[in-house]
Amino acid sequence: MSEEKKDKHFAALVLARGGSKGIPLKNIKPLAGLPLVAWCLRALLDSGEFDSVWVSTDHDEIARISQEWGAQVFRRSAQTAADKSPSIDAVKEFATHHPEVDYIAQVQCTSPCLHPFHVAGPCRMMREEGFDSVFAVTRRHGFRWQEVHGGGKTAPLNLDPKNRPRRQDWDGELIENGSFYFATRELILDGLFQGGKIGYFEMQAEYSVDIDTDIDWPIAEQRVLKFGYFGKTRPQGICLVVLGADGVLTDNQVHLTSTGEEFRSFNYSDTIGIKQLQARGVEVKVIAGDDGAESRKDGQSSILDSLAKRLGADIVMGCNDKVAQLESWRKEKQLEWTQVAYIGNDLPDMGCIKLAGIGGAPGDAHHDIRTIANFVCRQPGGRGAVREFCDHVLLVMEKAKSAIEQAEKAASKS
């Protein structure tokens, strides 16, 4: 690579305006436990390919969440955030305000199955092979027909009906999937995503997901759980899972009997999820804040103590510094933060969630906690949130294991 190319500033830009009509505020709506924008931001940041990663938005909440996920924010104008404003206008506006940027990768927020390798390829093509623009395509084998007005007539567009090819004998067609458009600054300022020496990067069909309407959402959620990028993980995977007590294992309510005795409820399916983690060699611990400490009567264990024993998990009661306690456990076990998972529901849990490799929140957690967590459960605390979180941790561990096996297989062939 020439020194001139090496010194070029490559910026990634995600367009995420607040005025979506099909799905209101869809860019930060939780998809499989994460704000939609987080799926592409994580891949862009983890790729290490960009000198800067930006979100262009006109909405305060989108800006705040984007910054929490590590992006810089460009405040777009009302003109480029209007319903009928084309994407190129918003990217052109960004380029005008950032003359230091030489290459721009405009990445769709609504394409949540993006992986770091998807953007590494186009970056290499532009930096090392002299391409001026590269865009994402998916190969499709569909016979297309054109509409001929009048009498329901039609005519073929890409086939000869007298000589229909078999799928295996036809390379198919390259179709823009909208996931990303890479272009030089000059092309963007000319109002073009594609021009000069044009290249394409082919994405497999399983990664080509776009969300436009409510109907697309459940399909995208299932696809991203199977094919989405879950972030960097160490070979060891998760070794320690720490659960908040009140508001996570229980529903944060205290029930009183007519005689004044307290009782709380928990979800039995949560215990199944915990047992599955333990069967995989993952240690599970419970932490209760000082507001969750309960008095002991006649030497009897507290309700939370009894629950922890039932789960086969250690518990710390009355903890007024959860970060210090979590750090103590991590050092004792000689773990990296990427090997720790934590789920909490309120502000005292914020520091732990930010530090943990996987930070979770029940569906009814405090708003700020749901914003910073990288997995938000659908279920509330005490009603199945822990089971969801355990299932997510197991899924991440399986994906990490699969990635390691694929890397080892590739290394053995090289």
Residues forming the active site: 164
Q: How far apart, in whole angstroms, are the C-alpha atoms of residue 286 and residue 391?
A: 17
> Within its chain, how far is the Cα of 401 from the centroid?
19
Q: Exposure of 206 by Cβ count < 10 A (0-12 exposed, 13-18 middle, 19+ buried)?
A: exposed
Regarding beta strands 262-263 and 255-256, do their DSSP bridges make them parallel or antiparallel, or are they unpaired? Answer: antiparallel
| Alpha-carbon 254 to chain mean position | 35
Contact 207, 116 (CB under 8 A): no
| H-state helical runs in 74-189 | 87-97, 116-128, 185-189
Signed CA dihedral, 249, 251, 252, 254: sign only: negative
Alpha-carbon span 120 to 127, nearest angstrom: 10
Mutual orientation of helices 36-47 and 60-68 as an angle, nearest 10°?
Answer: 40
Q: Which residues contact 298 (CB under 8 A, 6 or more apart)?
A: none
Phi and psi at residue 176, in whole multiples of 5°? -55, 130
